[in-house]
Structure 1
């Protein structure tokens, strides 16, 4: 039996896929206007807010989120690993390790790795964020493993921001004769590509009513790019840069670097300048012959229309039974992210130097967080290489230490452990911004897009569930997000605009209303909020409640000690609850829904007192009272304002709580609302009760009603829905809202009949709170199965349908799976131990 030296290096719960094996029926997008890049997505590399790169189970690099907030999904064939192997009798094999050859005629001289098929197993791709592994089998005589990762480490606010990909190759010779191997990394110089060539992008309203804008990267524009070979003690590599006259780098300007280690046991070869649009023979011919390169140095800048790439190769001989490790580092330094053109002067964190009112046509720009540690001139890629080669082992140990108690937890199912880590991909992949720190914002500003179809930051309703991960793992970033909302609530913006849902006109942001989001990449995030215009979010009945609950969530989950944070948010809490109370038209203590989709289910009409929004209102009052009590207890002398505010909220709560129960409870579940007459069982109807339990607040409904409701939801929205909609296949998950018998109230409805991944994970957490362990794990595992067996991995959507379609990929809410771990017994202990 052949020795398998790599199995212990890959956690048993990691997601796995045979290399290059396609999907028979991958889920496809529900609406043609939504993004659907296909199933070839793999784990991203790169620090939070540093830009990231995706590499798929086929082996190609194909996702380029280098420009903050922007999405490019294209394969660059020249960005590639290749392996040469030769036996003692002179026979050799050489492959570029993507199973997908270029389709444009480039690199025609290269040989491409065979994909797994029915007749040949060629290897396995495994992923457990922030690590992934390519295990090559059945092609070479040697056994090869490429592990790749970035230093994503909880409660770490430095290395977690680094723009680095670390590749650790392990080669093992299982034969009885020596093998000569050479591993080559080639990379195209793309400096200058990742910025919008359209300086004033036009905003239009898509067919689903949401705003989108034009984005055209400078793809392929490599004029003045050049490559330089560097030998620095034992560190060797190629630095990719560009001629520039700008003292302060502009967006897209900076460097790439690829590097490895030279030592007496290996030979290092290089070729600094070759044409990636050619046949590629300049590098392939010597490499495929004996694993070498020409050691050619050429720093000539690219002429207009020319593109260039570089290559490094490491050759070594393995004796029988021996194993060798070879590291490669990929670093990039693009320090500036620019946004829309504006005249607004701002001192928001990390912003580029300003001389006062910005002239028309000058973009707002921010430095990325990693520049606090490597400088801001865009010339620090090699410094990052040195840092990575020195500390990568320590970083990997820190990742293993973080994961160990979770991976060793016998009470948490293996598929959920896999998804728990892999769903964190979005913190790097989700158009993430993380700015440099300032005196006002020492940790910087942070933001993740709702998704790539709804491209605005930190949608507050979505992160009610999606924010579970950030709160537990990087709480200082969670605090930065909530402070940004607190600052935004008092602000107003009277800019008129058309609402996509009904073509009504509304102002962008009413003062005291809680904004839906923190802005978009084509404007000025954090300064211009409420970007979405599909609905008039000034009228939403959940956003103010969501804000209060998330403020208190941060406070409780970080040890109930940050009273300064509560004080900073206090004014916004008072304002937003007062504003929300104005929608209590009849003075009964509960704001009414208007009969329009005025909450997170923004295609679903609620009217009167609703179970969803009314419950969040009650929970928010509980949280606000608790916050007020915390502040009052901390003061040396009682504050009349605090006392009066607490008394007012207590009066509202006393009035509203029995009314909610009396109006909506029907003996089996809470009615959707008080005026529509709908009999639908809404899956998320008791989100408010879930939050009171999550934050140790008094319940808003009786315990027996909570239990009965969850049992009804499980029976109707999960068991019966799946039996009627998907009788011959695996369970889909929980539908948002169906009749008690599992049938649709309206077969043509959108949101009620969708399975929302994040809502499902949140509901599973709620059931686990209630001791419904089997039901909780059945729901969560059904959703994980949908994502990871139908080509949705590392692009998790908001919604899945029974027809095998999805909507809104790369979605924020799915990180709610961290709420499921939080409420488990061991998860609670883990969280408490990491405060």
Structure 2
């Protein structure tokens, strides 16, 4: 679950034109071949070049949910099966080649070296070629203010296996593996010679050349396997590819990290042969685990999940292997950090690429502030993080825990700066330039998204120790928001413009987007207070939640939808697609609704009819903003965009409230637009214009937001915690009554403990006649400061407020 090269490399990969010139591909045109993708597996079926020979290549990556060891292994396998449908015996030969390098300029620097290796066990003979890649880099260290040269180990390998000699003799298997350790990939003569060997005999000459490459020369390795297939017989040929790059380092300097797999294969960069061989040994187990995970999704009788939907659900997970970094500690650590990394429960650091910089600012006229690629942006993980919460929940928790660590160690960093993301320049939490869209001091939504994500990840793991760790930060985040953004002290946050993820969209006062998030975050906080048995904060957040929820409806509801804001501006009555995101998040996490259900349904239908069905370009998805007459809100860039993550959240909200027809139509339109019309398979953009003329942010984790829809679907079925499962109409009233009763019981227990403290038992050792004996006595406890207790009058006030609110909210 990490890229094979340094994470901010972006080489231009291309097919070597000399290969097409020197190698004969005329027999395979693609007309009779079909590709099937279901990440982390894929299949390519060839009914060519020989129509009597059915070839299938099964590609497997070890990306396995809830498996935190094998999912970190940097390897993949290609399992070829061939069926002979003719009455004749046939010989099948497959050639597997790989260029030593990353596809970038360093491939031709020289100094690279390929080496053949072999391993034999009882059942198989393993043959492979390891490729050491020499790639010294000069990196400017911003902390040290100087250029530092690094030559970190980088190796690649290809390997295959055939049955052992004993098995071949016993079972009459005709198989042979041959190799060419080194050939020049940019030399027409070398390429022609290699192809001539293979085409003539279906084998290679076993040339074992291990000299280092010269500057200007690119080299590669080749493996060939030849097997005989009888009539109606099926044979299997397996290749593996692996890489061993133990250190993750950025061109911009800063911290360097060990990758997660080094926990199992060592940090010295000498494990490439073992990784390649292990992949050949373990692939059947990987396949079984992946199939066991995927089968229930594919076999579900729920018609809502169409084939397109199931395909997108899995294939968008490819982001996890190309745009994330999974670490196992840094190169320089304190003794305390070293002990943490070595502990059994340590899951490592997990970093999700959020964007490559502020490229969108140039489109809207804002000054650019070069911070490089950023990771773990709270905006991106708010919906994209549901995939981790469902499939690798401990990695989702690790992201939140990293914030706690930073708060303790980097005292000077502003709270909201933590949530804006980590810069690759220093791999530390960013301060961003005031006056740009990344002026984190003004952002209102990040704290609220953080609180909701903490509760989501708590529900995914039922880890009360995690909640205990995060609870002080949750309180701090909401306190910060209340003090800084509740400008008129009524309990609701007030916007001053440009202070949310929609930073170009002018909004003032109480807003549909941030206000909805605020209400949902308060409800999540009071439930967390309940779990923490924190009575005073339960009462505080409960009261604040009730007041803000009422204000939200009173100020924004116009009978059809919740207005953009309650100001008198020209765009204040715009119809925002993501206005119900807080209500959706609350329901999907088992907290119940935050606005009346009937109003939510009316608003969703209005968004469906105005923001999608009236688009002049047709039903290509839901646009972020429209005017009351159904025309696109053209007041800013954000209002004119179509965002896949917003569409998935809308679909999830529709599904929750029973609008399944609208939900299905929206999803089919969105997926058809991105995959079929735009051709963005495996690379869903963060946003695109309504006319399809521009796309933004294909490196972001927008595609993972489809798992937010899956989360909502599964939240109706079960939660790991047995409490508060239902999201039905009756849920809300029972939820509040249950919570109030338990808080009252907890309060009574604290009162009794204060009035009648238990006796204290004292153990002493007494010496009598040279013998030691234990003496136990009971003494009254010294007077201790009483625990915080909510007065009965205040608790009764809470009960009264709950009962009064049932008619409106619950």
TM range (shorter): 0.7 to 0.9
Select the structure that is richer in helix.
Answer: 2
**Paired position in structure 2 for 1:824:** 713
- Structure 2 match to 1:768: 655
User: 1:529 & 1:478 partners in 2: Cα distance?
Assistant: 23
Q: 1:242 to 1:732 in 2, by over 3 A?
A: closer
CA distance 1:529–1:294, shift in 2 (3 Å): farther
Instruction: Tell me by how many angstroms 1:436 deviates.
Output: 4.6
Residues 305-704 of structure 1: pairs in structure 2 closer than 5 A = 305-339=216-250, 363-411=254-302, 412-436=305-329, 439-440=339-340, 442-452=346-356, 455-488=373-406, 511-513=414-416, 515-521=418-424, 523-528=425-430, 534-559=437-462, 562-581=463-482, 582-595=484-497, 597-632=498-533, 642-675=534-567, 676-677=569-570, 678-704=572-598
> How far apart are 1:680 and its partner, in Å?
1.3
Structure 2: distance between partners of 1:245 and 1:416: 44
State the distance in 2 between where 1:550 and 1:812 align.
16
CA distance in 1 between counterparts of 2:159 and 2:377 reads 39
- 1:268 and 1:714, CA in 2 relative to 1: closer, same or farther beyond 3 A? same
CA distance in structure 1 between the partners assigned to 2:310 and 2:440 by the alignment? 36
What displacement does 1:585 show?
Answer: 1.3
1:129 equivalent in structure 2: 39
Matched, 1:180 2:91: yes
Q: 1:243 to 1:689 in 2, by over 3 A?
A: closer
Aligned partner of 1:742 in structure 2 is 630
The partner residue of 1:170 within 64, 81, 89 is 81
Pick 1 or 2: higher relative contact order, CA cutoff 8 A, min separation 6.
Answer: 1
Change (3 A) 1:804 1:488: same
Q: 1:139 aligns with which of 26, 31, 49?
A: 49
Whether the aligned pair in 2 keeps the contact of 1:275 and 1:307 (CA below 8 Å) is: yes
Pairwise mapping of residues 207-286 of structure 1 onto structure 2 (< 5 A)? 218-233=105-120, 234-242=125-133, 253-263=153-163, 264=168, 265-279=174-188, 280-286=191-197
Instruction: Please give the TM-score of this superposition, normalised by the length of structure 1.
Output: 0.75
String of CA shifts for 1:250-269, please: whole Å, max 9, x gaps.
56522111010133321111
**SS where residue 715 of structure 1 aligns?**
helix
Matches within 5 A, 1:787-826: 787-789=674-676, 790-805=678-693, 806-824=695-713
Displacement of 1:298 = 0.9
d(CA) in 1 for partners of 2:59, 2:34:
14
Between structure 1 and structure 2, the one with the greater Rg is: 2
* Aligned-residue CA RMSD (Å): 2.7
Cα separation, 1, equivalents of 2:643 and 2:105: 36
State the distance in 2 between where 1:251 and 1:167 align: 31
Q: Secondary structure at the match of 2:375?
A: coil
Structure 2 vs 1, CA of residues 162 and 535 (structure 1 numbering), >3 Å: closer, same or farther? same
- Kindly state the Cα deviation for residue 644 of structure 1 after the two structures are TM-superposed: 3.2
Question: C-alpha displacement at 1:812, in angstroms?
Answer: 1.0
- Residue aligned with 1:594, SS: coil
Secondary structure at 1:704 match in 2: helix
State the 1:292 CA deviation.
Answer: 1.5
Q: In structure 2, the residue corresponding to 1:435 is in which secondary structure?
A: strand
Aligned residue for 1:22? none
**Residue equivalent to 1:111:** 24
Whether contact under 8 Å (1:622, 1:698) holds in the other structure is no
Q: 1:189 to 1:244 in 2, by over 3 A?
A: closer
After alignment, is 480-489 or 330-339 more displaced?
480-489
Count of residues in correspondence between the two structures: 664
Which of residues 55, 59, 62 in structure 2 aligns to 1:148? 59
How far residue 821 of structure 1 moved from its aligned partner, in angstroms, is 1.9
TM-score when normalising by structure 2: 0.78
Query: Cα–Cα, structure 1 residues 466 and 594, in superposed 2: closer, same or farther, change >3 Å?
Result: same
> Residues 395, 323 of structure 1: CA spacing in aligned structure 2 closer, same or farther, 3 A cutoff?
same
Q: 1:708-723 residue pairs with structure 2 within 5 A?
A: 708-721=602-615
Q: Secondary structure at the match of 2:300?
A: coil
Separation in 2, partners of 1:513, 1:121: 54
Aligned to 2:68: 157
| Residue pairs, 1:46-85, within 5 angstroms | 48-49=1-2, 51-52=3-4, 66-75=5-14, 77=16
* 8 Å contact kept, 1:516–1:543: yes
Q: Is the 8 A contact 1:610 1:674 kept in 2?
A: yes
Aligned residue for 1:638?
none
Q: Judge conservation of contact 1:490–1:575 (CA < 8 Å) in 2.
A: no
Cα distance in 2, alignment partners of residues 186 and 458 from structure 1? 36
Distance (whole Å) between structure 2 residues aligned to residue 224 and residue 171 of structure 1? 39
